[in-house]
């Protein structure tokens, strides 16, 4: 069994991850989170919220998981989130049709299926595998289709990312933040992609959880006020250049900015924030790197893009977070499709005085003359130069109709106008997290088998060394023996800890050693044991999962001691008297 199998086996057995619909034979690409898995996931998400929502102030919103067609036409997912496939009629092998012709034309990915078919025929391209004849190209779109309403209804799609929900609410968000850049919104929720072939367990799912932030920034102001927080942090960077050499470079955030390895400070801040988050949920620092997208893999509209990658035992480096500067691409696309300007008005520090040629049609006279067309005629007049306006009869053409305007109802001046600001289409910085992958990685990095002394011999112990903050059970309450006089006070202590808001597991089945091992396996950081001394002096033992050491502490205030231990406000050594 490799590490992946060990982790998945434990995850299944202990209630972290289950294959969905197992009762009916299952379905590829779907996983259920069991009791411990759901809790672990929620705790990871909660840390994410603390960082992005509470600390950064990017408020969380919630938008439908089903989207209407317009949204995905604008985003490019209807046209672009699909690949032209082409199957061999002989051996059945499927190929990317555009890849088959990319040696022949330069922009193969822009071709229609008909054009691809024509090129394949004209150039006598056969199956690369067996040389057989190729069938016609067809689109395989990775979005799940659905219909909204009864009958044929209206075409809808399950969202392939949560991001669009934030872009389409841009105006509302801008108003909420009182039109001050930068501002951001976040969303944690399910997204859907109809993967051709989901594999690798929870690594590639058809329904998965994303945590995304869309941060709207001024296109020319990409510094970050809090960069000082991270400047001295060392990152494992695998830049475009480093990838040519095949070496991961370690450098501080400051150095990466100064050497222009990361495009700008704002992006660097968010890479560092991601680094901070991943280590906090328990990703090993030496198995974490940031890989820069190479020019040819980066979306054409992005300035710079870095993936956080985590080293796993079976799959190698896997992408868990993408952090991109998507420029104004998304807002421009939605503005174009919707016909609504998506901008913020940015005021200048000082209003600018601008020399301007101003045409002033006398609307009181224009109105009676041109009736309903007066406004459009007036607009057309405003585009004219002073030379044209000096003519006795001014001619303009509006909607194919010619209008003659007497010059005496038009005046113009050269004016100095005060311009207080300008309309800006913000750039979007997008950190996009794959929560399911991160959850798997925290389990794999927490997983450890070690040999421990037992009965004069050595035996194997499996322990999940979760960070206390993510552990789905924070403290186990264990009566030493299965006896009423120990079980009753144990249950009372459990209740006390629950009232303090801790995740408590009470367990009195079978031998104490076995119960310790059970809790080691699910990563419970602390165990409280109630023994006969408890009845004497009202004290209990607290056991530390990682060292298996114990201290003795009074029952009074035990809930605060455990709380402080779990939230890192106290060291284990200070929790009681060492045994």
Partner RNA sequence: GCGCUGAUGGUCUAGUGGCAUGACUGGGGCCUUCCAAGCCCUAAACCCGGGUUCAAAUCCCGGUCGGCGCACCA
Q: Per rule CB under 7 A, is residue 83 in the interface with RNA?
A: yes
Among 124, 152, 197, 416, binds RNA (CB under 7 A): 197
Q: How far apart are CA 406 and CA 51, in angstroms?
A: 65
Site string for RNA, 113-132 (x = CB under 7 A): --------------------
483 is in an annotated binding site: no
Output the six-digit token pair for 236. 């494992």
437 is in an annotated binding site: yes
Among 99, 229, 287, 500, binds RNA (CB under 7 A): 99
Q: Per rule CB under 7 A, is residue 95 in the interface with RNA?
A: yes
- The smaller minimum CB distance to RNA, of residues 84 and 182, is found at 84
Closest by CA position to 302, among listed 48, 76, 83, 141: 76
The single-letter DSSP state of residue 407 is G
Q: How many residues does the chain have?
A: 579
- The smaller minimum CB distance to RNA, of residues 153 and 513, is found at 513
Among 267, 529, 558, 566, binds RNA (CB under 7 A): 529
57 is in an annotated binding site: no
Rg (CA), the chain: 32
Q: How far apart are CA 278 and CA 198, in angstroms?
A: 25
Q: How far apart are CA 304 and CA 310, in angstroms?
A: 20
Coil/strand/helix, residue 290: strand
Q: How far apart are CA 487 and CA 509, in angstroms?
A: 11
Q: Per rule CB under 7 A, is residue 401 in the interface with RNA?
A: no
136 is in an annotated binding site: no
- The smaller minimum CB distance to RNA, of residues 275 and 432, is found at 432
- The smaller minimum CB distance to RNA, of residues 37 and 361, is found at 37
Closest by CA position to 36, among listed 471, 421, 361: 471
Closest by CA position to 279, among listed 235, 331, 248, 344: 235
**Neighbouring C-beta atoms of residue 95, cutoff 10 Å:** 18
Which residues have a Cβ under 8 Å from the Cβ of 557 and sit 6 or more positions away?
none
Mode of pairing for the β-strands spanning 344-361 and 393-398: unpaired
Among 3, 12, 229, 498, binds RNA (CB under 7 A): 12
Site string for RNA, 310-349 (x = CB under 7 A): ----x-------x---------------------------
342 is in an annotated binding site: no
Site string for RNA, 29-58 (x = CB under 7 A): x-----------------------------
- For 45, 457, 505, the CA distances from 37, given in Å and listed in that order, are 12, 34, 15
Q: How far apart are CA 437 and CA 278, in angstroms?
A: 11
- The smaller minimum CB distance to RNA, of residues 160 and 361, is found at 160
Residue list 229-288, contact with RNA (CB under 7 A)? none
Least distance to RNA from the beta carbon of 153, Å? 24
- The smaller minimum CB distance to RNA, of residues 381 and 438, is found at 438
Least distance to RNA from the beta carbon of 523, Å? 12
The single-letter DSSP state of residue 88 is B
Q: Per rule CB under 7 A, is residue 358 in the interface with RNA?
A: no
41-58: string of b/e by CB count within 10 Å (b at 16+)? bebbbeebbebbbeebeb
Least distance to RNA from the beta carbon of 301, Å? 10
Segment interacting with RNA (CB under 7 A) among 24-32, 229-237, 330-338, 569-577: 24-32
User: Residues touching RNA: how many (CB under 7 A)?
Assistant: 67
Among 73, 91, 354, 419, binds RNA (CB under 7 A): 91
Q: What is the 3-state secondary structure (H, E, C) of 431-469?
A: EEEEHHHHHHHHHHHHEEEEEEEECCEEEEEEEECCCCC
CB of 61 closer than 8 Å to CB of 169: yes
161 is in an annotated binding site: yes
DSSP H helical segments within 111-260, as ranges? 113-122, 163-167, 170-176, 240-245, 253-258
Helix (H) or strand (E) holding 17: strand 17-19
Q: Per rule CB under 7 A, is residue 549 in the interface with RNA?
A: yes
31 is in an annotated binding site: no
518 is in an annotated binding site: no
Output the six-digit token pair for 128. 């690369």
Least distance to RNA from the beta carbon of 485, Å? 10
- The smaller minimum CB distance to RNA, of residues 18 and 370, is found at 18
423-444: string of b/e by CB count within 10 Å (b at 16+)? ebbbbbbbbbbbbbbbbbbbbb
Site string for RNA, 281-300 (x = CB under 7 A): ------------------x-
Q: How far apart are CA 198 and CA 203, in angstroms?
A: 9
Helix (H) or strand (E) holding 562: helix 558-566
CB of 3 closer than 8 Å to CB of 313: yes
Among 381, 541, 551, 566, binds RNA (CB under 7 A): 541
- The smaller minimum CB distance to RNA, of residues 99 and 218, is found at 99
Residue list 480-509, contact with RNA (CB under 7 A)? 480-483, 509
Among 43, 159, 193, 224, binds RNA (CB under 7 A): 193
Q: Per rule CB under 7 A, is residue 92 in the interface with RNA?
A: yes
Q: Per rule CB under 7 A, is residue 465 in the interface with RNA?
A: no
Q: How far apart are CA 278 and CA 407, in angstroms?
A: 70
Output the six-digit token pair for 482. 């299965």
Does 182 sit behind a cis peptide bond, omega within 30 degrees of 0 on the bond before it? yes
- Phi, psi for 60 (deg, rounded to 5): -85, 140
Q: How far apart are CA 279 and CA 442, in angstroms?
A: 9
Among 513, 546, 557, 560, binds RNA (CB under 7 A): 513
Segment interacting with RNA (CB under 7 A) among 95-103, 147-155, 171-179, 218-226: 95-103
- The smaller minimum CB distance to RNA, of residues 174 and 327, is found at 327
Among 81, 277, 290, 433, binds RNA (CB under 7 A): 81
- The smaller minimum CB distance to RNA, of residues 491 and 517, is found at 517
User: Which residues sit in the known binding site for ATP?
Assistant: 193-195, 203-208, 319-320, 434-437
Under the rule (CB under 7 A), what is the footprint of RNA?
9, 12-13, 19, 25-29, 76, 80-81, 83, 87, 91-96, 99, 142, 160-161, 193, 195-201, 204, 299, 314, 322, 432, 452, 454-455, 459, 461-462, 480-483, 509-514, 516-518, 521, 529, 531-533, 540-541, 543, 548-550
User: Which residues sit in the known binding site?
Assistant: 96, 161, 193-195, 203-212, 319-320, 430-437
User: Which residues sit in the known binding site for substrate?
Assistant: 96, 161, 208-212, 430-434
């Amino acid at each position: 069994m490799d590490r992946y199998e060990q982790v998945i086996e434990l995850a299944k057995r202990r209630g972290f991850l289950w294959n969905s619909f197992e009762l009916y034979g299952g379905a590829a690409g779907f996983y259920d989170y069991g009791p411990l898995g759901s809790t672990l996931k929620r705790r990871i998400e909660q840390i994410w919220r603390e960082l992005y929502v509470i600390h950064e102030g990017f408020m969380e919103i919630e938008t439908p998981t089903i989207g209407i067609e317009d949204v995905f036409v604008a985003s490019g997912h209807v046209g672009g989130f699909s690949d032209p496939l082409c199957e061999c009629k002989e051996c059945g092998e499927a190929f990317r049709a555009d890849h088959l012709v990319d040696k022949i034309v330069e922009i193969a990915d822009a071709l229609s299926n008909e054009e691809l078919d024509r090129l394949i025929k004209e150039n006598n391209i056969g199956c690369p595998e067996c040389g057989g004849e190729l069938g016609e190209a067809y689109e395989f779109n990775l979005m799940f289709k659905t219909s909204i309403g009864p009958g044929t209804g209206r075409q809808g799609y399950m969202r392939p990312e949560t991001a669009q929900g934030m872009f389409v609410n841009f105006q509302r968000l801008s108003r909420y933040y009182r039109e001050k850049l930068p501002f951001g919104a976040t969303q944690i929720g399910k997204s859907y992609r109809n993967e051709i072939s989901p594999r690798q367990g929870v690594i590639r799912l058809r329904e998965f959880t994303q945590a995304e932030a869309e941060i709207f920034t001024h296109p020319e102001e990409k510094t970050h006020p809090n960069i000082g927080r991270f400047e001295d942090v060392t990152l494992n960077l695998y830049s475009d250049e480093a990838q040519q050499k095949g070496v991961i470079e370690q450098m501080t955030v400051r150095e990466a900015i100064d050497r222009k390895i990361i495009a700008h400070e704002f992006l660097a801040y968010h890479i560092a924030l991601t680094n901070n988050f991943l280590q906090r949920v328990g990703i090993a620092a030496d198995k974490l790197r940031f890989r820069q997208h190479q020019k040819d893999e980066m979306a054409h509209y992005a300035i710079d893009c870095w993936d956080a990658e985590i080293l796993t035992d079976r799959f190698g480096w896997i992408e868990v977070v993408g952090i991109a500067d998507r420029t104004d691409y998304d807002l421009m696309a939605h503005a174009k499709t919707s016909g609504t300007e998506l901008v913020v008005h940015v005021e200048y520090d000082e209003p600018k005085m601008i020399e301007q040629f101003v045409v002033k049609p006398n609307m009181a006279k224009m109105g009676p003359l041109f009736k309903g067309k007066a406004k459009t005629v007036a607009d057309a007049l405003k585009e004219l130069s002073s030379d044209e306006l000096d003519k006795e009869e001014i001619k303009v053409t509006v909607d194919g109709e010619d209008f003659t305007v007497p010059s005496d109802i038009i005046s113009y001046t050269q004016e100095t106008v005060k311009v207080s600001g300008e309309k800006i289409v913000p750039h979007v910085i997008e950190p996009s997290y794959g929560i399911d992958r991160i959850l798997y990685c925290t389990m794999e990095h927490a997983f450890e088998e070690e040999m421990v002394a037992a009965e004069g011999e050595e035996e194997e112990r499996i322990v999940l060394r979760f960070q206390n903050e993510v552990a789905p059970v924070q403290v186990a309450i264990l009566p030493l023996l299965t006896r009423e006089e120990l079980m009753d006070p144990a249950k009372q202590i459990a209740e006390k800890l629950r009232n303090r808001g801790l995740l408590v597991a009470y367990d009195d089945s079978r031998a104490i050693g076995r119960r310790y091992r059970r809790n080691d396996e699910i990563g419970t950081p602390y165990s409280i044991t109630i023994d006969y001394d408890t009845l004497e002096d009202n004290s209990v033992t607290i056991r530390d999962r990682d060292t298996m050491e114990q201290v003795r502490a009074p029952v009074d205030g035990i809930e605060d001691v455990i709380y402080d231990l779990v939230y890192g406000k106290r060291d284990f050594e200070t929790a009681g008297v060492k045994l």
